[in-house]
Structures are given as structure tokens and as C-alpha cells.
Amino acid sequence: MPPRTSSRCLALIAAAFLRPYPCVARVCAGVLLACSLMLAGCSNNPHPEPLQKTGEDGTPWKVRYGALPEDPRSLDPQVSYDAISRRILEPVQECLLEYQPFKTDPYELTPCLLLKLPERVVKPSGGVSYRCELKAGILFHDDPCFPEGRGREVVATDVQYAFQRITDPKVECPALSNLQDYVEGMAEAFEAARKTESFDYSKPFSGLEVTGRYTFEIHLKAAYPQLLYWLAMHFTSPVAREAVEFYDGKVHEGTTRDLFRFHPVGTGPFQIADWKRNTRIRLKRNPVYRTTTFPQDGWGAEQEALLRPLAGKALPLVDEVNMTVFRETIPVFLLFRQGYLDGMGVGKDAFSSLVTPSRDLSGKYKERGVTLHRDTEPSTFFMSVNMEDPVLGPNQKLRQALSAAFNAQANLDIFFNSVPIVAEQLLPPGIAGYQKEFKNPYGYNLEKAKALLAEAGYPNGRDATGKVLEISLDTTGGSANERMMAEFNQQQFEQLGIKVKVVENPFARLLEKLDNGGYQLATGSGWGADYPDPENFYFLYYSKNFPPAGKNHSRYKNPEFDRLFEKMATMENCAERDAIGLKMNAILAEDVPNILNMHRSTFGLTQPWAPRIQSNPMLEGGLKYAVLDHALRENLRAQWNKKPVWPIGVVLCGLVAVGLFTFNLRRKH
């Protein structure tokens, strides 16, 4: 209906609603009015209008639509640590270094805010320094915290300020525990600040020395090659002091300012345009972004046609990113099917309708041009075994028996659609030192498990007095799925003839138990790589990393392992380091301080108009490389969302029938 006729219709119906017509007629008119109003404003597009219709040069404004499972917790670069927050932080706040998006085996760092990779200098005192130089002319985003609202240039003191914030006890930076062992003066400054309960930002910071407007040196007490990886994380990315001081969450001149963690001021390719908490975040292109351009190489031959035209182009490649928070998975699937989301992860619910049993995309979606991707995260999931437990701790054979009784593949088949990979070792694939051929000597083998259990002193699950061995298993409880998993784990171990008592905990309580060692076996442990280095995994079993200092939840203590760890931790990657890693892996495999489960991998889908550019798991989305074919999307969306007309017909017929019925009734009277 053209708009004018439709509005006239509306007016007529509205008039009928108001005038003193019989009651039934008024009700009918009311229903009709409501329906028409609904249809008049009706489009099934759930997204708000884009920030702009066209760009400055008149080209269509390109918007990418994505989904977040929950609201980011904190966008303070020195605090933010969870994947969801980092997904938003990455396009907003740049780091000193970044991962080359296409090189994943091995991973490669390239300069981002820095002009070139830091230069390593060994000092005569035994310490190591890294000389760094920032690119000149990089501006912070325009923001009211700067004079006249114009973003100022990034200088070396901003990096120093970031390092001071890492040290400040009030900021509670998760990187502090790692960095303070190596960066000069950091531990001392932290202790001093903790005593006086305030951090003195005016004091010169010995760990990071500013040597010029753009140049600075990071001084380390000992060799620590992993520092470069830390420079590629947000903890070390420069922060404007004005911004932190401006966004204090207090009322100034009648308006409440955001907290800094909800209002990051970065240098990235995007800046936050609007953030409706728990609903949606919109990012807008940073018009003066110049820091990086699209890489020139690194991709494989199969991506050549797609990526060659982009090489060297200015970033970002789209104008706006719209991230909507969906707590449930079903709406994500439905909106993806209607073309209102550009990509989605394949969850358990939609799995069978999207993926065929042979792990291929189902035909219906193939026809639509949708692409299926398999992503393996550099992560390992396992059950923790408490090594201080009087039953499990001293009994290596018992731990081996439990490990051999756990059918990790069946677990993946039932609960994860067989997508992830069974973990055979602590290191996930892609990390230096991962051994492709290695098989867990205590992987699933029920016969062996039973034999080991007998050797452990519990033949058929009973101890010398004939009492059945009982072990408690701490899990998270609540959802039906978690309960099923717990029952599965219980069944696995009970195959040995022992009794497993499942203790359900809220997640926070489970973490608490893991920290204070109040458990025997606990599910839900896992580690995702902070950076692609074996040290980042082996440190989980270093005896000086007992909670709360570190994450050695198993409370594993082995002098030989510790010695090897201390040796390899700060080595550069080389053959000798691999050899040490081999030994460490063998020790862990034999000692079984954990029951290995999986390296998580997931299936993801992308729409034909938004092909996947990079799949680097060290990047959290890599939004600045995202592309969009705007015309194709408009076209396909229109095709996929044809409105059916029959419901309107049904409603109309119903109304007419009721009308006639009433008319008849009145005539009879």
C-alpha cells in the first residue's frame, strides 16, 4: 500500500474506533487498528538505523553486524582479560605490537604502534633492555577529556603511564604477577604503593625509561623473551592520563561521567560510538586512523584471489561495527538465517541442522553461499587432580587408572558434536613444542585402567579392607547440560567399580575450591594461551605458582619439573628448549596431575557478503580486517525476508465474519 492510502485507511479505522458504534464493531476496529499499526511499522530488521547513510565520499556506509554472548565487563586496557571484553577492546585500543593476522605456524609479531620491533640490548650487569620507538603522529581518538575535544599525539610517557598503571595495586592488573618478576623496579614500586595505599605516578619508574619524545627503553632484571608477547597485549598499550583522570564516574557540572573502564580512549581503527549496556555496542571508524595498513603477504595460495586486492589498503575496511548482546543462542541462529548477522558460531542447538554427519555444511546453507570454518583455539581443557589429597596425591597409579578410565572421545561425541580434538598433552597445537605424534600413555583404555587400579591397591575398586573406594568430583551445576556432563564423568570413573560422589557447585564456589585446594577431582579447568609460548602452559604446574600466586590448581610439586621449567622459561625457542619441553611433557604424562580432555575447537559460519579474512586465534576477531559486500547483502536480505501475506487475510476474514455475525444478531433483535 502506498503511504498516503494507508494513512487514510488508518484514519478511517481510527474514526470507527472512536465514534459511538456498537461495542463489537469498535472492538473489531481496534484489532484492525492495532494490526495495521504493527504492519505499517513492520520490518523484521532488529537493528537500529546505521550511524550514517553514506560515507563522506557518497559511498554506502558499510556496517558489520555481530553478536556478543554477554556485555563486556571492563574495557580498561590494563584490566580487561576476558575474551568478550577483548573483542571490543581490540579494535578500539591498539597495542605496541600485534600478531600478523595470516602467519599462525609459527606466529609472528609485527610492529603496530611501534615503528619497528624492539631492539634487544644485553647490559653488562646481566639485565636485558628493549629499545622501542613509537610511530610519530599517531593521535588518540577525539574525546571530551582532551582540550577542545581533539585527540593529542601518543608519546613515550603514555607507555610509561601504562606501565605505572600495571604496577598500581588499585588497578589490579592481571599481568602484574608475571611482569613484576622481570621488569626492573616494578615489584618494589608495587610494595611501596601497597604500604602507603597510593601509587605515586610522579616518581620516575626505573623499569621503563623515557629517552625521547617517542623513544623508551624497557629494563629487565633477567632475560625474558616473552616480553614481546606482553607488548602485543592490551596491558602494555599506551593510555592517556587525561582520559583516566577525566572518566572517574563522578558528577561534574551536573553530568555523571562514565568510569574509565566503560569509556576507553584509544588510538585504534574504531571508536565507541554508543554503548547501551547489556544491549548493544556500536563502533565507528576512526577517520584519522593511519597506524597500520593491510598486510602485504602471509596468506596461503587459496586466499590469494580474495586478499591480493586488499594488500596495502588503508584500514579499517568497514565504517561501522554493530555488536548486539544475545544471551540465548537461538535468536542468533534465527537472525543469521534472515541475514541480519554476518557470522555466527555453530552451537549445540543448531548444529545438526547446519552441519551434516560428515562434518560438512548442510546443502541448504551451501546454496545460500554460507561458508563453514573450523577454528581450533590454542587451549587445553582438563580435570584437575588435587595432588595434596591424601588418597590421590601419593598414589600415582590411581591417578593413571582414573585418567585411563576417562573416555575423552565419547565425551566430545556426546557433548561437543565431535568438533574439538582429544587432548593428548598439555600443549595445544600451534604452540612451539607441541608434539603431533605424542599419545597420552594413560589415554582411554579401560582394561589398562582396571589393571592400574589393582596395582594402585584397589583391585575391583575395593581397598584392602574390602571397602569401595569413594572419590568426590566437584563440578559446576545448574544447567541440564552441566548435570549431564557430571553424570557422564561419574559413569566413566564408576566403570572401574569405584564410587564417585558428584558435588555440584556454583561456578564461583568451584573456583574458590580450586584456589584453596578443597577438592579431590574438579572439572572445568582449562587454559587458553595468553601468548603462543610453551612457558605459558607449563607454568600451570610450577610449584611456585600455587594459588593465589599462580594457577597451579593441582598443587603439583616436582623438583625435577621445577628445575626444567626454570631453565626453559626464559630461553629463546631453539632445539635445546624443545628437548627440555619433551622431558617436561613426559613427566606430566607419567604423573597425571590432570585428566586431559580436549583442545577446544568450534565451527563458525560466515555469510557470502562477509567472507572470513583471517583465522588467527591470537587475534580477538581482527575487526579492522573485516570486509563487507554491501550490495550483495541488501540483495540477499530482501530475498530471504519475503513477508507472507496470508496472516493479514486470515485476520481480515475473521473480522468480517465476526462483523456479519453481530450484524445478524442485531437484526434478529
- Residues forming the site for another protein (CB under 8 A): 330, 348-353, 357-359, 410, 413-415, 460-461, 468, 475, 477-481, 483-484, 486-488, 490-491, 494, 497-499, 502, 504
Residue 261 Cβ vs another protein, minimum distance, rounded to whole Å: 31
Residue 625 Cβ vs another protein, minimum distance, rounded to whole Å: 33
Query: Nearer Cβ to another protein, position 185 or 524?
Result: 524
Query: Nearer Cβ to another protein, position 209 or 482?
Result: 482
Query: Nearer Cβ to another protein, position 304 or 367?
Result: 367
CA distance 6 to 187: 72
CA distance 434 to 440: 13
- HEC profile of 306-327: HHHHHCCCECCCCCEEEEEECC
Q: Is residue 163 within 8 Å of residue 130, measured between CB atoms? A: no
Query: Nearer Cβ to another protein, position 315 or 500?
Result: 500
Query: Nearer Cβ to another protein, position 292 or 489?
Result: 489
Query: Nearer Cβ to another protein, position 485 or 623?
Result: 485
- Please calculate the CA angle 462-466-469 and round it to the nearest 5 degrees: 35
Backbone angles phi, psi at 279, to 5 degrees: -130, -55
| Three-class DSSP category at 446 | helix
CA distance 469 to 497: 8
Preceding omega of 547 cis (within 30 degrees of 0):
no
Residue 413 Cβ vs another protein, minimum distance, rounded to whole Å: 7
- Please calculate the CA angle 523-527-530 and round it to the nearest 5 degrees: 165
CA distance 508 to 510: 5
Helix H or strand E encompassing 381: strand 379-385
Residue 28 Cβ vs another protein, minimum distance, rounded to whole Å: 37
Residue 380 Cβ vs another protein, minimum distance, rounded to whole Å: 24
Whose grid coordinates read 554508543? 274
Query: Nearer Cβ to another protein, position 167 or 523?
Result: 523
- Cβ neighbours around 638 below 10 Å, total: 10
Residue 460 Cβ vs another protein, minimum distance, rounded to whole Å: 7
Query: Nearer Cβ to another protein, position 256 or 358?
Result: 358
| Three-class DSSP category at 372 | strand
Residue 330 Cβ vs another protein, minimum distance, rounded to whole Å: 6
Residue 414 Cβ vs another protein, minimum distance, rounded to whole Å: 5
CA distance 57 to 49: 19
Give the β-pairing of 320-325 and 379-385: unpaired
